[in-house]
Structure 1
Amino acid sequence: MVFFSVVIPLYNKARYIENTIKSVLNQTFTDYEIIIINDESTDESEALVRKLNDERIQIFNQKNQGVSVARNLGIEKSKGKLIAFLDADDYWFSNHLEELAHLYHHFPDCGIYCSRYKIKTSKNHFQTPYYFGVEESFRGVVKDYFASNIPFRITWTSSLAIPKQILETFRGFTPGVTNGQDLELWTKIGIQFPIAITNNITAIYNNDIPESLAKKNINSMNLMDFTPFKSAEQENPSLKKFLDLYRIEYGFKYYIFGYQDKSSFYLKDLDKQNISLKIRFLLNMPPFCLRFLFKSNRLLKKWGINFSVYH
């Protein structure tokens, strides 16, 4: 048994995949395997992986079924104690797995082990996430995970590792969900287990990709289901506030693009105290004005300026 299984779903990422895998091969902690799940790529992604010719790399092919099914297959094929996820266009610094291994040994009873990360918003600009109530120097178990998971996510998929046994208990990611599948699973785990975080940045989230899922029209996505969390939300105000931010995100984006019924579906379950004045103001603006602001925000990010209605 290896210590880490690194699971990388792969679909048409020929431009990035070599650099991503090399960042794994350069790790100072070397007890790992790399499992690539090729989700029926139509470019040269698979050929580029095979050229690397490293015995730690295993490639499995599946019919195109999306990232949830790909990650689940990676978990099934894995032999590691901990599963570390990495998207095919993201990047690890050489100490990433070493930091997570130390975190696991120091706090062995956690459900998720998280490293800190930077967000690449454009070619020359990076954003450093911060978390409510968690100091930059803090390392250990987060006191209130859902309260601190704002304004940025502590649990970003390419910067964390999870014991395989826990992933199997929760039966992995929900197939068919194309946006929020990771948020859904991390929330399930966060309700039942403590979450630990390092105090070092060891990964880069590449958000400077025009074709990424996060930038697709929301009406083309299958979103996570909030229903399973309603009982837990009643008992945990931090969880309710956290999930309401994503109800707002989904409802707001549907409103921007004119899908009023779907917007109302997500906004109807909000706790009124979780709706900021900023959101109330924006939801009273005509959708065409919001679409202009939405496009302008994308342009601002290219210059390193980040505006969000959520923080």
Structure 2
Amino acid sequence: MSFFSIIISLYNKEKHIKATIESVLAQTFEDFEVIVVNDGSTDGSEAVVNSISDPRIKYFKQDNRGASSARNAAISKASGPYLALLDADDIWQENYLETIKQLIKSHPDHHVFATAVNIETSNGVIRSVYSIKDIRDKDIYIVDYFESSYINTVLTSSSTVVHQSVFDRVGTYDTSLKSGQDTDLWIRIGLDYKIVFINKVLVTYRYAKRSLSNRTKRADKPRFDNYVQFESVNPGLKKFIDLNRFSMAILSKLENDPTSFKRFEKEIDYNNLNKKQQFLLKQPTSVIRCLHFFKKRMQHLGIHLSAFK
């Protein structure tokens, strides 16, 4: 039995999966298995995986059912006590697993571990920023998921390692959701577990390569209805979800979807938003679109603007 089981859901990542797997095989900590579930890829992804010869790679395929289904299938096949999530186009630094192993050893009473990430976009690489008070580079923190994720999430689908018992307790990915499956899982984890987080960049998250994450149109916006009962007794969760509602409300304006905007906006406690966010919610669609265009232009110049800081 391996110490880590690496969970990879694969769908049409022919150009990236080799580099992703090679970043795993290059790890300085070598006691792991790699479980790849091909979710009905129609490109050459299967051939690429099969061209890599390493007995630690366990390859499976299924009809296309979505990333959540493929991740759940991989999780069900894991033999290791610790499961390391990894998207099929992201990259680990060679000491990622070794660092996580050290965190596990030094924090034996905890079950969820994460590192900082760089976000690779078409306009350059951005270091992810977190809402952790007095945060310093390379320091280790035991954090509340919600309070530490107001700017960017401290858990991602490539920088998170959990003990097998976490999935036994909170469940795996909810395949009934059409969007926001990752956030839904992070919320369930955050309700029950603290996160051991090291502010050291060991993962490159390739946002620019993701057709789903980088799309401008989202017909199926997450509702967060499952957590209304918890919001009233968990202020951190309420603020975290309100910030997500803010993002969906702005997206609704960009898409000229007033029905969705009203639904998200009416559920937001404005006290959970900063002045910039409050201002944006009150602007007409034409202003939001102009500001969005300006933001994109600034990104091309290497200037990254955000309403979250």
Q: Could you state the TM-score of these two structures normalised by the residue count of structure 1?
A: 0.92
Match of 1:271? 269
Q: For the Cα contact (< 8 Å) 2:123–2:299, is it kept in 1?
A: no
Give a deviation string over 1:239-282, Cα, whole Å, max 9, x none: 21111100111121012211111121122111121233323332
Of 241-250 and 114-123, more deviation after overlay is shown by: 114-123
Deviation sequence 1:127-180 (CA, Å, 0-9, x none): 3424331333421422x4322222121112201101112113222011043432
The residue number in structure 2 matching 1:242 is 240
2:128 is aligned with 1:116: no
- Partner SS, residue 253 of structure 2: helix
Map 1:63-82 onto structure 2 (within 5 A).
Answer: 63-82=63-82
Matched, 1:230 2:231: no
Change (3 A) 1:216 1:124: closer
- Report the equivalent of 2:86: 86
Contact preservation (8 Å) 2:120, 2:206: yes
Q: After the TM superposition, which of the residue ranges 244-253 and 117-126 deviates more from structure 2?
A: 117-126
SS in 1 for 2:218: helix
C-alpha distance in structure 2 between counterparts of 1:285 and 1:131, whole Å? 26
Asked if 1:96 is matched to 2:96, the reply is yes
SS in 2 for 1:162: strand
Q: RMSD in angstroms over aligned alpha carbons?
A: 1.9
Give identity over the alignment, percent: 34
Bigger drift between 238-247 and 104-113 goes to 104-113
1:285 is aligned to 2:286: no
What is the DSSP-based 3-state SS (H/G/I as helix, E as strand, rest coil) of the residue aligned with 1:297? Answer: helix
1:201-212 paired onto structure 2 within 5 Å: 201-209=201-209, 211-212=210-211
Return the letter of the residue paired with 1:258: N
Structure 1 unmatched runs, 5+: none
Unmatched segments (≥5 aa) in structure 2:
none
Alignment partner of 1:261 is 2:259? yes
Distance change >3 Å, CA 14–CA 292, structure 1 → 2: farther
Matched, 1:44 2:44: yes
Is residue 2:305 matched to residue 1:304? no
Tell whether the 8 Å contact from 1:107 to 1:141 is kept in structure 2 after alignment.
Answer: no
Equivalenced residues, count: 308
Aligned partners of 1:132 and 1:199: how far apart in 2?
A: 10
- Is the CA contact (8 Å cut-off) linking 2:207 and 2:214 kept in structure 1? no
Distance 1:231 1:17 in 2: 40
1:123 & 1:308 partners in 2: Cα distance?
A: 15
Deviations 1:41-99, CA, capped at 9 Å, x for gaps: 11111111110121111111111111111111110011111110111111000000111
Answer with 183-192 or 24-33: which moved more.
Answer: 183-192
2:163 maps to 163
Amino acid at match of 1:141: I
CA contact (8 A) 1:131 1:151 kept: yes
Compared CA separation, residues 128 and 166, structure 1 to 2 (3 A): closer
Q: 1:41 to 1:306 in 2, by over 3 A?
A: same
Q: What SS is found at the alignment partner of 1:235?
A: coil
What SS does structure 2 have at the residue aligned with 1:161? strand
Alignment of 1:172-187 (within 5 A): 172-187=172-187
CA contact (8 A) 2:81 2:163 kept: yes
Find runs of 4+ consecutive structure 1 residues off by over 4 angstroms: none
**What TM-score comes out, normalization by structure 2 length?**
0.93
Cα displacement (A) at 1:185: 0.9
Change (3 A) 1:161 1:222: same
